Amino acid sequence: MPTAPSPDAARPLTAAPRVATVDGNEACADVAYRLNEVCAIYPITPSSTMAELADQWSGEGRANIWGDTPIVVEMQSEAGAAGTVHGALQGGALTTTFTASQGLLLMIPNMYKIAGELTPAVFHVAARSLASHALSIFGDHQDVMAVRATGFALLSSASVQEAHDFAAIAQMATLETRIPFLHFFDGFRTSHEINRIATLTDEDLRALVDTQLLLAHRARALNPDHPFIRGTAQNPDVYFQGREASAPFYRRVPEVVASAMDRFAARTGRRYGLCDYTGAPDAERVLVLMGSGAGAAAEAVDHLVARGEKVGLLQIRLYRPFPAPEVLAALPATTRAIAVLDRTKEPGAPGDPLFLDVVATLAEAAATGARSGAMPRVIGGRYGLSSKEFTPAMAAAAFTELASAAPRKQFTVGIVDDVSHSSLEYDADWSTEDAGVFRAVFYGLGADGTVGANKNTIKILGDDPGVHVQAYFVYDSKKSGSQTVSHLRFGPAPIRSTYLVRQAQFVGCHQFQFIDRIDVLAVAAPGGTLLLNSPYGPAEVWNRLPRSVQDTIIAKRLAMWVIDADRVARDAGLGNRTNSVLQTCFFAVSGVLPRARALDAIKGAIRKTYHRKGDEVVRQNIEAVDRTIEALHQVAVPATATGTRRLLPMVPAEAPAFVQALVAPMLAGRGDTLPVSAMPVDGTFPSATSRWEKRGISSIVAKWEADTCIQCGHCAFVCPHGVIRAKAYSAGALDGAPDGFLSAPLEARGFPDTRFTLQVYEEDCTGCALCVEVCPAKDPSVSGRKAINLDDKGDDPVPARARAAFFESLPLPERSHVDFATVRGTQLLEPLFEFSGACAGCGETPYLKLISQLFGDRMVVANATGCSSIYGGNLPTTPWAVNAEGRGPAWSNSLFEDNAEFGLGMRLAADHQLAAARRLVRALASTLGGGLADAILAAPQRTEAEIREQRGRVRLLLDRLAGVDTDEARALVSVAGQLVRRSVWIVGGDGWAYDIGSAGLDHVLASGRDVNVLVLDTEVYSNTGGQASKATPLAAVAKFASAGKTTEKKDLALQAMAYGNVYVARVAMGANAQQTLDALREAEAYEGPSIVLAYSHCIAHGINMQHGLDQQARAVHSGHWPLVRYNPALSGAGENPFTLDSLRPSLPLKSYMEQELRYRVLMLTDPPRAERLLADAQAAIARRWQLYEDMASLGGSRG
Amino acid sequence: MADLGTTYLGLDLAHPVVASASPLAATIDGLRRLEDAGAAAIVLPSLFEEQIRLENAALEALTALGADSVGEVQSYFPVSSDFVVGPDAYLDFVREAKTAVGVPVIASLNAVTPTGWTGYAEALADAGADAIELNVFYIPADLAVTGRDVEQRYEDIVREVCGAVSVPVAIKLSPFFSATGEMAARLVAAGAEGLVLFNRFYQPDMDLERLEVAPTLELSTPAEIRLPLLWIAVLHGRISASLAATTGVQTPTEVVKYVLAGADVVMTTSALLQHGPAHLRTLVDGLASWLDRRGYASVAQVKGAMSQQHVADPSAFERANYMKVLQSWKTGG
């Protein structure tokens, strides 16, 4: 039961407010959770954290303000979540959801329903870009603008504090108005910024939210005790009137929100308005915007006003219903010119939405006389799409534009638009940073703990009541060897600088190799400090710096400190965990706290963090702190630079022009400087750019032992990164081989003068060791050595590059001569998926590489959003490649939910064009001559040799049509490529196949069309951080299954088999590489729908990825992942189509599970439950195995 | 029937046959079966500090893997999976064991750090262990480590643990000291109330197919009793501590021999793994029947009867014995 009516909401707090150092997501979720009863969600960046926290709190039994624990449920898609929200609301529960971007789009139909039924609810949105010419996970207002017509009220918060506060204000207002609210804040900039906020207690929330309104909401619910009907169908006679009936409710909203804000201010002291004006009271030029950009714009206004300029900022907080009277009232009467900034784009509209709203408001006021004086000049500007930086300098540029004689009607700011010439110039060096704020920037690797350490630092400093903190983290797009940049600010007042640090008093470079590649000192403020983690000591390091770095250090008068953090960590027994060491260095030299106090604070934090892990761990970390101080040295900076080293070029000189012009600046972190003209107009990019990015991310790389190798091909087969290649060639081709180029006689009869080379592309190798693990050939003279081993890469990349280049110059084997049927044979096929940024040791990419080898020169790929679309299609470089003939996989990503349908569309286009081509070949048979038409039409294309022959015929056809000037000939030329059998692949993860895309996949499999579906099954949502899917196994722990999943993994193979005409296989290359190869070839050859479920070990399993293949084998041998094939073609031959390819389970399930953190977590935290679920899982395996055996024995087919 | 009673670490036992650490003693059900089969006391499998530390380190590394590395992922596991692997499960097991069985329960500890030895020993005592057996497993593979270093290490561990807990402490000895007798005396002086002879270190084997070092565990055989038999016989009556014999106890014959040499208790694992807990009864009955056949009234009467102090020719246990064995082997061969 709800508690008694609220105490006096106006009672101010007497005690100092409680504070917390949190990010925007947590700030919002903390309130949203406590004000709701049901939460239905689906993970999507950047909102996922809110839902995960809600799930965690629910699991912990945390109560809402009415004393009950909210129910949190993960759905199969945002559409499903919205439906569930709608249902729970109709059931009378206060219900919320957290989403963003495409997720919000999927909710639109229900949003209309929820609003149309006047249902109080708040959706919390971390606003994000929409996928158009490209996907982007980053922040802007495109998603929320896409739902502005749904009938939801839209409330915009602009900071971490506001995300917390507006979650409450939105709830207060929705309950009172019955209008559903969408509360949004900027994805990443606010959702992921960490800041110190004052928090709302349960008492605050109880005081603010009127429980009587909750009761009223319940009273409106569907209830058989007093039934009614809602959701009718209406007709032309009354629908229109019904749509208008709710209008009075919308008219009340601004007043109710304003009143809620007043009550909120009375309670907390934090005052907000529907729109808030700041700046000169007599401003002539005013910016209007909403969201986090207001922080940067306000800084600009403060600075400009201080120097006498008459400018101001109007920040919109309630966007729908649009508070026109309040906007008019807030604008100074002196306003002559207004620039409205939209963080969205509406192509083809007369202006972007906020601009149009402001124009309409002013025009109406002018027309009706509600506003006296001349109508201000209003221009519209676009900024900040996809988290593009928006700085005070950019806001200042908008004011400058307003001051010009003829301001542009529409402009952009933050980019260089040299196509439409819309962009404003701005002074990038103009800074409004407060002198009292300490700013630090840290460059690190994802794996080195830099971000974690900085989060720790922020917490340490944020504990000081006199210190305000802000942290924001920038990541690159790779999943392995990813670079992180941390931007930290500390100061005595709240920090609202909603942009990256541009002038840092402290720069920490935590990876020495960055100094050669990235301009880490560009952000260093004059007189600042550089901390460099370096293997070279204070005497030696200076001469190891590139000349430009030396110049900058001298010119900016930087103090330079150096430490070998890796050695200190190692010596202290911390392995490669350098985070404590480098954090200590920051405190020791930055001066943000007195050194002794800082060290005490760090040690205190260590005790707090590690005390549960034992005295020894605490001791080691504290020892590391003490050793750090001893190992930290200031470098004597000479007066003049003497170095000769230069920054390394981002791409080799021989890279194509496109790569030089577009990719290289992106790689160097200068993508922001690329002008509009540099960009493809429709999102189309050349393939095969990853080969130009030599990342060199691993100091240990695979090295081949030619004498030990048996040339079996398994290492190349499993290499997730395509860095191990094999060629067989005549001995004479070795002339001119560079030093160290390895070669061995080909291990095959009948090729006496043929040599074999297994080449490792060392600069692309991630050191994942899967090749070493799978290698069966052992060096008889040295225990533990194999035919391929990991060894130091060495400092100089040039020799390895020369060897790889020579290898590339060797001739490729003719594809029709390669044995596609054996693992050994496939190593000679060129991978057309290479050097992706997937995690080191990724379990998915070997399958993709394999299909690219087998079918790449004639395949199109529809790729569902997820890991595979990120490592497969995220700029700057992409891995889908091109062969020497210029052919390769043509790849595209549509959405997450529609991928099967997207691929089917590709098939239909191909089928249609093939039919047209065949018709035209017949029609032009006499022109083509020589029986070519008949040969083309009758050609079998089952084997690679047959396909190569057909390619030859099509080439001949094109030659013969070259001079034919007829419509039919031209039409045939346009579709002739389809005469070579096109291979359509539909690729995605389990989140797509089992959940969000399930219905579409089912329909496509039922279509009977010749598509090949490859499900890279990691059994969890990997890309968004480990949320449970319906592929998640029983007993595994995942987000939204934190106590271990209690239901069995869906048997998608069995579902697909039920159709009877679908080729189905379940494979795991770590268990049986040959079966994997057979299945993929059979699937492709089958002229109907095929689906291959591929076990993909994953970082989200909590395994040492080096042992991923072993885990695959355990998964199979324990019966968790039985290998099967179901080939309908065999039915036609009267055979049992079902083959059970793995042997009866020989390992207890536990021996597979206990190797993975996702299961071990439960074994450690709740052993009895783990035992119970394990027993359930073991029983399920037995049941399924029995079923499979029964199926296999129908006509008998055991592999 | 003879009185089989004996005293070990100050604990009065019904007879000298003790079930030593094995998988059988790793579950409450197993403990009950051992007690039902007649074990006079039970040694639990060791609590391994290093295993806890390594597992913690590995789990921490796996939890951190990929965290805060890319924009979309702050972690791959729910926050509630922030856990610690500690001795809690083992300590719970000790507590449960104490309520499940009536015979004395001896906890075994293998630590690697000074705080580990004392901290875990205290925790085991607090959990209700009747005694603690220190399972010092140390192979001085570092060529710079001297014999004195090793001896000192053993002595320090015993002193520190004995200073930290009030329950009796036994130490399982290595057979590889230069002067086992002196070492035994030092350990007793440091506070050990019992010596367990000897620790069978797991010595790695080689897998000739895979060319890998392969950890193997072979069950002990009666042929292996000679070394502990020798030292029990030497030490009996000359140090003020209990003596436990372990290794090679397959049949009542070995039990009798050890008792005659001076063992207060005889521990067995291999035979129980091979034959099941019921084999305990065979061993106890065999001892009783040997005593009865010989007309002895009690174990106490024969304990140490063939120790070095009591045999006719004490030097038989010294070098002369070695000579004799060699000669008899030759003549026998």
Do the Cβ atoms of A188 and B86 come within 8 Å?
no
Examine residue A179 and state whether it is found in any structural domain, yes or no: yes
* Integer Cα distance of A510 and A575 in angstroms: 16
- Report how many domains make up chain A: 7
Shared-domain flag, residues A722 and A626 = no
Decide if A1172 is catalytic.
no
Q: What is the mean pLDDT of residues A101-112?
A: 98
Shared-domain flag, residues A1024 and A1106 = yes
3-class state of residue A639 by DSSP = coil
State how far residue A704 is from chain B, nearest Cα, in angstroms.
19
Higher pLDDT, B332 or B316: B316
* Integer Cα distance of A1173 and A1179 in angstroms: 10
B211: left (phi over 0), alpha (psi -120 to 50) or beta: left
* pLDDT at B81 > cutoff 60: no
Percentage of the residues of chain B whose pLDDT score is greater than 70: 90
Q: Is the dihedral of CA A114, A116, A119, A124 positive or negative?
A: positive
Give residue A5's pLDDT: 39
Using an 8 Å CB-CB cutoff, list chain B residues near A1024: 72-73
Confidence of residue A644 (pLDDT cuts 50, 70, 90): confident
Decide if A785 is catalytic.
no
**Residue of chain B minimizing CA distance to A452:** B68
Confidence of residue A462 (pLDDT cuts 50, 70, 90): confident
Using an 8 Å CB-CB cutoff, list chain B residues near A1042: 78, 80-81
Do the Cβ atoms of A478 and B89 come within 8 Å?
no
Shared-domain flag, residues A391 and A518 = no
* Integer Cα distance of A985 and A855 in angstroms: 10
* Integer Cα distance of A250 and A320 in angstroms: 9
Task: For the domain covering B6-332, report its CATH number.
Answer: 3.20.20.70
Do the Cβ atoms of B72 and A137 come within 8 Å?
yes
In tens, the pLDDT along A805-847 reads 999 999 998 998 899 999 999 999 999 999 999 999 999 999 9
The helix or strand, by DSSP H or E, that contains position A198, with its residue range, turns out to be strand A194-198
Shared-domain flag, residues A302 and A355 = yes
Using an 8 Å CB-CB cutoff, list chain A residues near B211: 778, 780, 783
Q: Residue A325: is the preceding peptide bond cis (ω within 30°)?
A: no
Token pair for A517: 């590649």
Q: What is the mean pLDDT of residues A1015-1019?
A: 98
State how far residue A771 is from chain B, nearest Cα, in angstroms.
17
Q: What is the mean pLDDT of residues A777-800?
A: 90
Give residue A3's pLDDT: 40
Domain-terminating residue out of A413, A428, A456? A413
Shared-domain flag, residues A294 and A398 = yes
Examine residue A640 and state whether it is found in any structural domain, yes or no: no
Give residue B48's pLDDT: 86
* pLDDT at A576 > cutoff 90: no
Give residue B148's pLDDT: 92
Query: Tokens 């027993």 map to which residue?
Result: A1175
Confidence of residue A415 (pLDDT cuts 50, 70, 90): very high
Using an 8 Å CB-CB cutoff, list chain B residues near A839: 66
Least confident of A527-541, A883-897, B19-33: B19-33
Cα three-residue angle A63-A64-A65, rounded to 5 degrees? 120
Strands B169-172 and B131-135: parallel
Q: What is the mean pLDDT of residues A596-618?
A: 81
Examine residue A364 and state whether it is found in any structural domain, yes or no: yes
In tens, the pLDDT along A290-336 reads 999 999 999 999 999 999 999 999 999 999 999 999 999 999 999 99
Do the Cβ atoms of B69 and A452 come within 8 Å?
no
Q: Which of A575, A616, A1099 sits opposite B115 (nearest CB)?
A: A616
Q: What is the mean pLDDT of residues A923-936?
A: 94
Decide if A78 is catalytic.
yes
Give residue B326's pLDDT: 41
3-class state of residue A108 by DSSP = helix
Confidence of residue A1199 (pLDDT cuts 50, 70, 90): very low
> Which residue in B52, B73, B83, B93 has the most chain A C-beta atoms within 10 A of its own C-beta, making it the best mutation to test that interface?
B73
Shared-domain flag, residues A1073 and A1110 = yes
A1042 touches chain B (CB under 8 A): yes
**Residue of chain B minimizing CA distance to A481:** B69
Examine residue A8 and state whether it is found in any structural domain, yes or no: no
User: Annotated catalytic residue: which of A21, A45, A96, A457?
Assistant: A45
Q: Which of B65, B68, B83 sits opposite A452 (nearest CB)?
A: B68
Using an 8 Å CB-CB cutoff, list chain A residues near B85: 1164
Number of Cβ pairs closer than 8 Å across A and B? 132
In sequence order, the 6+-apart residues with CB closer than 8 A to the CB of A636 are: A538, A542
The ipTM assigned to this model is 0.90
Confidence of residue B84 (pLDDT cuts 50, 70, 90): low
* pLDDT at A1030 > cutoff 60: yes
Q: What is the mean pLDDT of residues B118-135?
A: 94
Domain-terminating residue out of A797, A829, A861? A829
Shared-domain flag, residues A95 and A168 = yes
Using an 8 Å CB-CB cutoff, list chain B residues near A1161: 77, 81, 83
Do the Cβ atoms of A1102 and B64 come within 8 Å?
no
Using an 8 Å CB-CB cutoff, list chain B residues near A1100: 66, 76
Closest CA to A487 of A917, A195, A197, A63: A195
In sequence order, the 6+-apart residues with CB closer than 8 A to the CB of A871 are: A478, A479, A836, A837, A838, A842, A845, A879
Do the Cβ atoms of B78 and A484 come within 8 Å?
no
Give residue B215's pLDDT: 67
Do the Cβ atoms of A475 and B212 come within 8 Å?
no
Using an 8 Å CB-CB cutoff, list chain A residues near B66: 446, 479, 839, 1099-1100
Closest CA to A332 of A314, A306, A315, A317: A314
Do the Cβ atoms of A615 and B62 come within 8 Å?
no
CB A340 within 8 A of CB A379: yes
Q: What is the mean pLDDT of residues A673-684?
A: 97
CB A1109 within 8 A of CB A770: yes
CATH number at residue A678: 4.10.780
Q: What is the mean pLDDT of residues A388-394?
A: 98
Q: Which of B69, B79, B80 sits opposite A482 (nearest CB)?
A: B69
Confidence of residue A401 (pLDDT cuts 50, 70, 90): very high
Give residue B313's pLDDT: 64
Using an 8 Å CB-CB cutoff, list chain B residues near A1158: 77
Examine residue A806 and state whether it is found in any structural domain, yes or no: yes
* Integer Cα distance of B317 and B321 in angstroms: 5
Strands A410-413 and A377-383: parallel
A447 touches chain B (CB under 8 A): yes
Shared-domain flag, residues A658 and A740 = no
Token pair for A1181: 């395996």
* pLDDT at A669 > cutoff 60: yes
CATH number at residue A1113: 3.40.50.970
3-class state of residue A240 by DSSP = helix
**Residue of chain B minimizing CA distance to A446:** B69
Shared-domain flag, residues A825 and A920 = no
CATH number at residue A596: 3.40.920.10
Shared-domain flag, residues A707 and A675 = no
Instruction: Please give the residue range of the domain that contains residue A532.
Output: 438-635
Q: Residue A46: is the preceding peptide bond cis (ω within 30°)?
A: yes
Do the Cβ atoms of A1026 and B56 come within 8 Å?
no
Percentage of the residues of chain A whose pLDDT score is greater than 70: 98
Decide if A307 is catalytic.
no
User: Annotated catalytic residue: which of A74, A78, A162, A299?
Assistant: A78
In tens, the pLDDT along A9-25 reads 444 444 567 899 999 99
Least confident of A163-167, A198-202, B74-78: B74-78
Closest CA to B253 of B296, B282, B218, B219: B282
In tens, the pLDDT along A57-69 reads 999 999 999 999 9
Confidence of residue B199 (pLDDT cuts 50, 70, 90): confident
SS3 sequence of A1041-1078:
ECCCCCCCCCCHHHHHHCCCCCEEEEECCCCCHHHHHH
pTM score, two decimals?
0.91
Domain-terminating residue out of A378, A413, A448? A413
Give residue B318's pLDDT: 58
Do the Cβ atoms of B211 and A778 come within 8 Å?
yes
Examine residue A176 and state whether it is found in any structural domain, yes or no: yes
Confidence of residue A750 (pLDDT cuts 50, 70, 90): confident
In tens, the pLDDT along A1129-1186 reads 999 889 999 999 999 999 999 999 999 999 998 988 888 899 999 999 999 999 999 9
**DSSP 8-state class, residue A778:** B
Q: What is the mean pLDDT of residues B154-183?
A: 94
Shared-domain flag, residues A971 and A1047 = no
Examine residue A521 and state whether it is found in any structural domain, yes or no: yes
State how far residue A798 is from chain B, nearest Cα, in angstroms.
29
Alpha-carbon distance values, A43 to A47, A266, A862, A1043, B76 (Å): 7, 36, 22, 18, 13
- How high is the mean pLDDT of chain B? 87
* Integer Cα distance of A368 and A355 in angstroms: 20
Shared-domain flag, residues A72 and A57 = yes
Token pair for A469: 């903190």
Percentage of the residues of chain A whose pLDDT score is greater than 90: 86
CB atoms within 10 A of CB B232: 29
* Integer Cα distance of A95 and A123 in angstroms: 9
Examine residue A886 and state whether it is found in any structural domain, yes or no: no
3-class state of residue B15 by DSSP = coil
A669: left (phi over 0), alpha (psi -120 to 50) or beta: left
Closest CA to A852 of A983, A759, A1017: A983
Cα three-residue angle A384-A148-A681, rounded to 5 degrees? 45
- How high is the mean pLDDT of chain A? 94
CB A730 within 8 A of CB A762: no
SS3 sequence of A397-420:
HHHHHHHCCCCCCEEEECCCCCCC
Do the Cβ atoms of B89 and A1167 come within 8 Å?
yes
